[in-house]
Structure 1
Amino acid sequence: MMDDEGRPFGTSPASGDLDACAREPIHVPGHIQPHGLLLVIEPDSRAVLQASDNLAGFGLSVDGAIPGAGLKEVVGGDAATEIESALNAFSAGEGPTLLGPVTIHDRVFDLVVHQVGDRLILELEVETADSPRGSLDGLYPHIQAFVGSLPALSDEESLGSAAAAKIRELTGFDRVLVYRFDEDWNGTVVAEARGERLPSYLDLRFPASDIPAQARELYRLNRLRLIPDADYVPVPVHPERDPATGALLDLSLSVLRSVSPVHVQYMKNMGTPASMSVSILDEGRLWGLISCHHGEPRRVPAHVRTACDFVGQILAMQIGAKARSQMTSERVKRHEIEARLLSAMSEASSFEEGLAAMPDELLALTDAAGAAIVSDGQAWLLGRTPDEADVLAIGDWLFAHHPAEGVYSTPSLGRESAPFEGLASTAAGLAAIAISQVRPSFVIWFRPEVIETVRWGGDPRKPQEPSEGRLDPRTSFEMWKETVRGRSEPWSRPQIEAAGSLRNAIVGIVMRKAEEMAALTEELKRSNKELEAFSYSISHDLRAPFRHIVGFAELLKEMDPVAEDSRASRYVDTVIESAHSAGRLVDDLLAFSQMGRTKLTPIRLDMNKLVDEVMRMLRPDWEGRGIEWEISSLPRACGDPSFMRSVWQNLIANSIKYTRGTDPSRIVIEGEERDDTCVYVIRDDGVGFDMAYVDKLFGVFQRLHRIEDYEGSGIGLANIRRIVERHGGKVWAEGEVGKGAIFSFSLPKRSEGDTCQN
């Protein structure tokens, strides 16, 4: 594999050549690809300052010299009017924007515009017979199907596979890869969709040197790149420099920008004369690439590329949202472990004694196999560790080389210090927190080595041989395997943060025990901020695309050709309905994420009255059906009326929904007081569920029935559990397929000393 700026994947050039690569001005090549033309204009006067040298090849005759000719003189009056009208829809500061088709001398071009400084860059990509213009009704069903499949996908690999398959379906490329960068910018192919013509690159790893920092920055700035034919002849831009400023033309955001000759030769060597890439950005950071290859020249129309870019953005948002959700959940779990450790330390005579009394919790805080507490020349050993003498030696080494770091971590201690290479079976990986800056005092976690076989896309140790002053791409693409020893599983960011948080707490206990609660409160505030950031990310990143889909689809529906075509109108209605459905899903997810932060206002609740209100609200859903209701007298409870109304509404609505296939059906609502709780039950004789999956029932997006059969977002029961647990109660369910379901929840009784507003 290879990046489209001319750096071959799977090779390691000599350091001098890498330095030359890093300095190469790849954003100002001075040329474009020949399947379009480029104009640089001054925004106010519309004077053409620079242009590609292929205007005549597209039938444009310039009545006046460039620079200085007006737009009308270059493209003709009718085309200039079309372009002027399209430019009215362009806003400064936007990235490359597709402004629709423009006709110049009976040829149709796709117009893409972006701004660099005080210059507008117009790129006109000619439409050919093999790339006919499509319509939204041909693309949105694909996007709709892709969006609809996402809630069931739980990890990066399955999301990437779905995106790769969808983009291959849209474009017809022989091979589509999803390429993920790690924290050191090494890359791995995590997903792939391909035909038989090109070999598989799945699971291959590539070193960071394959894509230099400046190339990664171009991928970050410009999400989409296409090379239809590696045999193209670059077209120069004339004049080479801006006539007013003397600056070279910055083509960072150009869709036609010419690529390095090294990359062209690489594509030929690989047998893939056509390629396309879509950048995957997570909160502005380059997460990875969707890389497409074809065994023969291939043009992808602009509207299809736009759809692929949209798929890439949706993939990026899903990956980011799931990663942040998982990270937030992991942090919360570690905060809970830390709280228990803090409690043990506060009750013990020293922090060492408190930690040593809870070995399982201390190991679970960072998912370590062993831990040691080093202080005053003594070592408390917990789990799988080196012997005491080696642990004390590690403590001395840490004090000498990393005395003031909040958290020091490495997956390969032996590479950091040769004397410890022999400890890989217990201490290949190490994470440590320094408790004191004046003496060796540490809490250290250990992990054993994990022997790993890495599949590289070529031998990363071989230097790239320069030829006539430049790097030549390799001609061999055989997989190269490496067995990696002496390394543990890497330490994740939540694990490092948890260790750092524990260090802060221990230092607080040692120095001022009275500040312990304040430190814990700050950690909880940080957790809340993370949840708020997650909610904002979902709201900001997912809502906007769905609004755009609805807005543009409604505009499309108002167009006469669509209004007269009943099939096209149905397609557009489906797009609008799906986008609204996805928006409701986002709203449900936001409600779930905010549920834990909204303040409860408990009052003494008349549950019978609350159920009556919900029944009246849901009457349109069951009126006219043969449902026999049996509602017993329900005991009063203390709770927040809004939240408890939501609980009853979800439970009763579910019973109504899942008894649709039973006629007549029977729904029973009852409650009773027990020793220290009030228990409420709703049972039905509907479709039921398999008890083997009961543990999934109350999870977010966990559905036990097909969405085609029973609508819903998969969040309602998760909301019920969160509400009930915030009230101090529990929720559970029983069911049998075809015989109905029983949902129960309990609320604790309030003692006379508790306050509950009347």
Structure 2
Amino acid sequence: MENKASALHIGGEKNYDSDFCGSIPLHQINLIQPHGLLLVLDKTLHIRQVSENSTELLGVTPESLLERPLADFVPEGELQDLVQKLNREHESEQDQVDIPFSISFRTADSPKVFTATVHPEQDQILIEMEPAQRENDKSFLAFFQQIKYITSRIKQADHTEAIAQIVADEFKHFTGFDRVLVYRFDPTWNGTVIGQAKTADMSDLMGLRFPASDVPKQARDLYFKNPYRLIPARDYEPVRLHPILNPITRRFTDLTSCNLRSVAGVHLEYMANMGISSSMSVPLILEGKLWGLISCHHKTPKNPSYQERTAMELLSTIAAVRLGAYEREQRAVVQANMRGQHASVLEQIFNQEFFAEALLHGQPNLMALLSLDGAAILYEGTVQTVGKTPAVQKIKELASWLRRNSSDKTYVTHSLPLAYPNSKEYKNEASGLLALAINPDQGEYILCFRGEVLQTVNWSGNPDQAIRMEPDGKSYHPRNSFALYQQTVQLTSLPWQPEELEAAEALRSAVLSKIIREKY
């Protein structure tokens, strides 16, 4: 692999995620992929819009379908079943959900059987239809046993990376994709591969980081509406809807909920640059947040059956539950370890005459509780320090900067030199800062410091070349290199954990309580 290096702050210098890639209206492109067709019905179940590939898949032109009731094409028993499901969905107080269905669509020829997904919406009903695939490769019992086995393996894994690797291994074995990746998003939406299973001829992406623009914001948001994203064949011809404007809404049909929704050309180009012809991705959603993705790649066209896709959706949910349980367990362990120290520090604050003495030199103290390299307390005209800190004059200047630039009670950063360039000269002592305001108008703070920690981040391609702009400044192309690119991350400390910030805020409240009690 190509190996280049640069010294930059983490994440690259350019925010393609929001600046460019995040501006494409993916849900309003009025195009679908050709492996299925789309019907748009009004509330009376009359067909008002249809994809133009109805001739190929149904043997009926779009014009022959428009304005006709669905009852002209679907057996009465199936139609009544659909109506009952729609009525139950309408009566439910829960958010509307997609309804899986099987439809026998009658035309002049013999009936054609489709696997359908029905999306009930406020003013219309969208029905996605795909030709039913033969599911005779696995009996129901064998299929169920395989799902149960995979579920058991996922539940037995005892840490995040182990869960991710089992998911990658089992998804590859179950689906036959050439490569399966499990990657996790960081707070700025870059994704790191933490699990991988692949054939020998696929490139190795384990441990590499992908920039946020690879899965930009509006694409991430759509994962809350779609259980998966499938592209069976990269070189497809998009299919338009007929008529172009939706007669019900009088605008482009919102395809947010549709799995058949066509893909932005830049993503198809991205797939070509990766050397894959088909892909499928399934979200990992933990506690209502997008935690990561299971991404499947294949060198040739591949269209998993509805049965397989449903199983992947189920397994991703099980994996997300296990990941969430493990992370909650880890947080509980950290909180339990901190709780005893935190209680002791609070006790010392109230029992000793000077809170600064308790925080800086007690046993345990602020350094131990928050894993600091140094700390300083500015109070009543004095500066007291412990551990590795900037010089006293520099600490006073930092407090003045905080007073002018921070209106929050607590200021936190793991890259102070980027926010306050004057601090670069003491990056070894204070690349990370947690500042707790006591009386900011008087420049009184509790300052917690962490020194610089150099990191090497292995990117899949240069993150600052994630896109290539055309001369018009509007059109762009994805990067064509996924080779290893090493970035040396400077001017940053270890990140502050949520549990540490909670403990620090509790200490701040305790200090203010003691001061008020003594003065008033």
TM superposition score normalised by structure 1: 0.62
Aligned equivalents of 2:15 and 2:495: distance in 1? 27
Q: Give the C-alpha shift of residue 343 in structure 1.
A: 0.9
Aligned equivalents of 1:234 and 1:288: distance in 2? 28
Give the letter aligned to residue 429 of structure 1.
G
Q: How does 1:184-583 map to 2 (within 5 A)?
A: 184-358=188-362, 360-402=364-406, 404-462=407-465, 464-466=468-470, 470-512=475-517
Aligned equivalents of 2:317 and 2:49: distance in 1? 32
Contact 1:41-1:47 at 8 Å conserved across structures: yes
Q: Give the C-alpha shift of residue 281 in structure 1.
A: 1.1
Residue 439 of structure 2 aligns to a residue whose secondary structure is coil
Confirm or deny that 1:155 pairs with 2:159: yes
Contact 1:12-1:209 at 8 Å conserved across structures: no
Q: 1:63 to 1:217 in 2, by over 3 A?
A: closer
Aligned to 1:122: 127
Contact 1:341-1:361 at 8 Å conserved across structures: yes
Contact 1:386-1:423 at 8 Å conserved across structures: yes
Give the letter aligned to residue 382 of structure 2.
Q
Aligned equivalents of 2:62 and 2:485: distance in 1? 58
Aligned to 1:566: none
Contact 2:47-2:67 at 8 Å conserved across structures: yes
Question: Which stretch shifts more, 287-296 or 145-154?
Answer: 145-154
Confirm or deny that 1:97 pairs with 2:93: no
Q: 1:264 to 1:330 in 2, by over 3 A?
A: same
Aligned to 2:34: 34
Q: Give the C-alpha shift of residue 87 in structure 1.
A: 4.9
The percentage of counterpart residues that share the same residue type is 33
Deviations 1:597-640 (A, max 9, x none): xxxxxxxxxxxxxxxxxxxxxxxxxxxxxxxxxxxxxxxxxxxx
Aligned equivalents of 1:405 and 1:65: distance in 2? 64
Contact 1:87-1:99 at 8 Å conserved across structures: no
Aligned to 2:8: none
Higher gyration radius (CA): 1
Question: Which stretch shifts more, 220-229 or 103-112?
Answer: 103-112
Higher relative contact order (CA 8 A, sep 6+): 2
Give the letter aligned to residue 51 of structure 1.
V
Q: Give the C-alpha shift of residue 445 in structure 1.
A: 1.5
Q: Give the C-alpha shift of residue 205 in structure 1.
A: 1.5
Contact 2:28-2:254 at 8 Å conserved across structures: yes
Aligned equivalents of 1:364 and 1:394: distance in 2? 23
Contact 1:34-1:234 at 8 Å conserved across structures: yes
Q: 1:41 to 1:391 in 2, by over 3 A?
A: same
Aligned equivalents of 1:291 and 1:494: distance in 2? 31
Q: 1:88 to 1:303 in 2, by over 3 A?
A: farther
Aligned equivalents of 2:281 and 2:13: distance in 1? 23
Contact 1:63-1:69 at 8 Å conserved across structures: no
Aligned equivalents of 1:230 and 1:59: distance in 2? 23
Residue 236 of structure 1 aligns to a residue whose secondary structure is strand
Aligned to 2:187: 183
Question: Which stretch shifts more, 290-299 or 365-374?
Answer: 365-374
Q: 1:352 to 1:489 in 2, by over 3 A?
A: same
Question: Which stretch shifts more, 285-294 or 144-153?
Answer: 144-153
Q: 1:103 to 1:70 in 2, by over 3 A?
A: closer
Aligned equivalents of 2:237 and 2:508: distance in 1? 61
Contact 1:12-1:464 at 8 Å conserved across structures: no
Deviations 1:417-441 (A, max 9, x none): 2221121222221111111133122
Give the letter aligned to residue 321 of structure 2.
M
Q: 1:307 to 1:102 in 2, by over 3 A?
A: farther
Contact 1:95-1:253 at 8 Å conserved across structures: no
Aligned equivalents of 2:16 and 2:317: distance in 1? 37
Deviations 1:37-66 (A, max 9, x none): 1111123x2111111111121234369744
Give the letter aligned to residue 67 of structure 1.
L
Contact 1:197-1:295 at 8 Å conserved across structures: no
Q: Give the C-alpha shift of residue 328 in structure 1.
A: 3.5
Contact 1:13-1:464 at 8 Å conserved across structures: no
Q: 1:289 to 1:340 in 2, by over 3 A?
A: same
Contact 2:234-2:301 at 8 Å conserved across structures: yes
Deviations 1:662-683 (A, max 9, x none): xxxxxxxxxxxxxxxxxxxxxx
Residue 315 of structure 1 aligns to a residue whose secondary structure is helix
Q: Give the C-alpha shift of residue 499 in structure 1.
A: 0.8
Deviations 1:557-577 (A, max 9, x none): xxxxxxxxxxxxxxxxxxxxx
Contact 2:414-2:495 at 8 Å conserved across structures: yes
Q: 1:313 to 1:49 in 2, by over 3 A?
A: same
Confirm or deny that 1:137 pairs with 2:141: yes
Give the letter aligned to residue 305 of structure 2.
P
Give unmatched runs, 5+ long, in structure 2. Answer: 1-10
Q: Give the C-alpha shift of residue 331 in structure 1.
A: 3.0
Aligned equivalents of 1:68 and 1:178: distance in 2? 45
Give the letter aligned to residue 108 of structure 1.
V
Aligned to 1:85: 81
Q: Give the C-alpha shift of residue 359 in structure 1.
A: 5.6
Give the letter aligned to residue 300 of structure 2.
E
Q: Give the C-alpha shift of residue 332 in structure 1.
A: 4.0
Contact 2:17-2:212 at 8 Å conserved across structures: no
Kindly tell me the number of residue pairs found equivalent between the two proteins: 500
Q: 1:154 to 1:77 in 2, by over 3 A?
A: closer
Confirm or deny that 1:24 pairs with 2:29: no
Aligned to 2:4: none
Deviations 1:336-380 (A, max 9, x none): 322211111111112112223316431232222222222233222
Q: 1:33 to 1:140 in 2, by over 3 A?
A: same
Residue 478 of structure 2 aligns to a residue whose secondary structure is coil
Q: 1:226 to 1:39 in 2, by over 3 A?
A: same
Deviations 1:390-429 (A, max 9, x none): 3333333323322x42221111122222221121222221
Contact 1:189-1:205 at 8 Å conserved across structures: yes
Contact 1:139-1:307 at 8 Å conserved across structures: no
Give the letter aligned to residue 85 of structure 1.
D
Deviations 1:7-43 (A, max 9, x none): xxxx989889964543322102211111111111123
Q: 1:151 to 1:242 in 2, by over 3 A?
A: closer
Contact 2:40-2:48 at 8 Å conserved across structures: yes
Aligned to 1:71: 70
Give unmatched runs, 5+ long, in structure 1. Answer: 1-10, 516-758
